[in-house]
Amino acid sequence: MMEAISLYELNNRIKQTLKASFADSVWITAEITEVQLNRSGHCYLQLADKREQEDSIVATARGTIWAFTFRTLRPYFETTTGRQLEKGMKVLLNVEVVFHELYGYSLNIRDIDPTYTIGDLERKKREILAQLEADGVIDMNRELEFPVLPKTIAVISSPTAAGLGDFMNQLQTNPYGYRFQVKLFPAIMQGDKTTDSVIAALERIYEYESVFDVVVIIRGGGSQTDLGCFDSYEMAANIAQFPLPVIAGIGHERDETIVDRVAHMRVKTPTAAAAFLIGTFREQDGQLETWKNDFIVGVQELLHNEQNRQVVRISDFKRSVQVVLTGNRTNLKLLSQRLDHASENYIRNRQVYFDRLKMKITGRIDVLADRQRNRLENFGKALQQQTGRIFADQHRRLELAATTIKYVDPKNVLERGYSITRLNGKAVRKAAVLQAGEIVETELAHGKIQCQILNNSATQ
């Protein structure tokens, strides 16, 4: 029978072999694919080695930084690199190879060289910047014309970020009374989801592009080690190609992220972003004040020059008038003498004319008066004759009318044997209107009688 050993014994032999082969710690390079921190303070890493050209994993291992070691390494690494240990980061680690019969192979991490990581991060940044430049987008946002008065502002930030409060307070309490319209587009500003969240916020702003003048990205209040997400190619490419100027105020002073590089403007803090926006209004106020002063000076200069020109013109005009008046005064004197002489001759001639006209008119009036007198006498005689004929004719007509009226007088008619029958005081002209038994009154030439209708043949 073939001799066999247990799995534990096999693992123990592997453990001893590894311990003998790796008696001392070794330095390795690897890429972090996962980071986990537990409550005890231990840090667990998943490490991998990739072929750069194929981006395929060729080796993996578990790494552990025990709490007592992590408490020392963490602040040193983060202070030096400005970054936390995170997925995708390349690191240079001093490790102790460990093999446990139950848990298998792992690496105890004893030290980290941050300078290696810094170099790798810078290499990645250079590669991303080179890619943005090759794409032709790296300066697109910077080349946008910044609005003269950026009044409507789209802000990308976490609603709970301290920097957002500082930014809003700075704008709202500015000493010049400028009024800004600010709309918050919430986003995650640290961690793995930052890139997708910021891009989503940019897409929402793009839907209202015509409403806003400028975009401000605010991160203030977070840790300096959370800036890695702002070196993302995807985020930088979106910001670089955004159609509105973007101000990056992500709250750090030492390092420049790729977002800082492609944004239209980089400021150190959110309050600095607010101060810059206020400053644009202040600058325009100053420009308006300068224009106003220049305008006043220009108008005053024009008025002064025009006043001088008017003084010269008035002086020239006075001299010209004096020359003209002097010449005209002589002419007027001669004209006055000629006018006096001409007036005397005219008056004399008109006097002779009117005297002759008076004589003609007087003779003519006498002739006309005699003619009118004869006409009036002849008219009076004719009028007297005609009036006599008219009076005689009218007298005959009146006598004839009197005879006619006398003939038709009702009393004269009654004298000739006629009578008037009345029913209820009204004259009866037709027998048909009378009924048997009715009482009527008949008026004769001398008196009235009452009659009763016994029979009326006109009604039968």
Mean pLDDT over residues 360-365, rounded?
A: 79
Asked if residue 289 is part of any domain, the answer here is no
Q: How confident is the model at residue 225 (pLDDT cuts 50, 70, 90)?
A: low
Residue for token pair 């918050």: 184
Question: How does pLDDT run across 117-166, given as a tens digit for each residue?
Answer: 877 778 888 888 899 999 999 999 999 999 999 999 999 999 988 889 99
What local confidence, expressed as pLDDT, does residue 263 receive? Answer: 95
What DSSP state is assigned to residue 225?
A: G
Is 43 found in the same domain as 26?
yes
Q: Which residue range is the domain that position 428 belongs to?
A: 411-451
| Cβ(65)–Cβ(73) below 8 Å | yes
Distance CA 348, CA 352 (A): 6
Distance CA 103, CA 106 (A): 8
Is 225 found in the same domain as 270?
yes
Is 62 found in the same domain as 42?
yes
Is 181 found in the same domain as 122?
no
Asked if residue 337 is part of any domain, the answer here is no
Of 100, 131, 162, the residue at which a domain comes to its end is 131
Is 154 found in the same domain as 23?
no
Is 271 found in the same domain as 185?
yes
What local confidence, expressed as pLDDT, does residue 250 receive? Answer: 83
* Chain Cα centroid distance, residue 396: 103
- Residue 144 burial by CB count (10 A; 0-12/13-18/19+): exposed, middle or buried? middle
Of 81, 116, 131, the residue at which a domain comes to its end is 131
Q: How confident is the model at residue 27 (pLDDT cuts 50, 70, 90)?
A: very high
Q: How confident is the model at residue 427 (pLDDT cuts 50, 70, 90)?
A: confident
Asked if residue 295 is part of any domain, the answer here is no
pLDDT over 90, % of the chain: 34
Distance CA 449, CA 421 (A): 9
Q: How many domains in the chain?
A: 3
Q: Say how many CA atoms lie within 13 Å of 366 toward its Cβ.
A: 5
Is 127 found in the same domain as 60?
yes
Question: How does pLDDT run across 181-211, given as a tens digit for each residue?
Answer: 999 999 998 878 899 999 999 999 999 999 9
Is 231 found in the same domain as 103?
no
| Cβ(58)–Cβ(95) below 8 Å | no
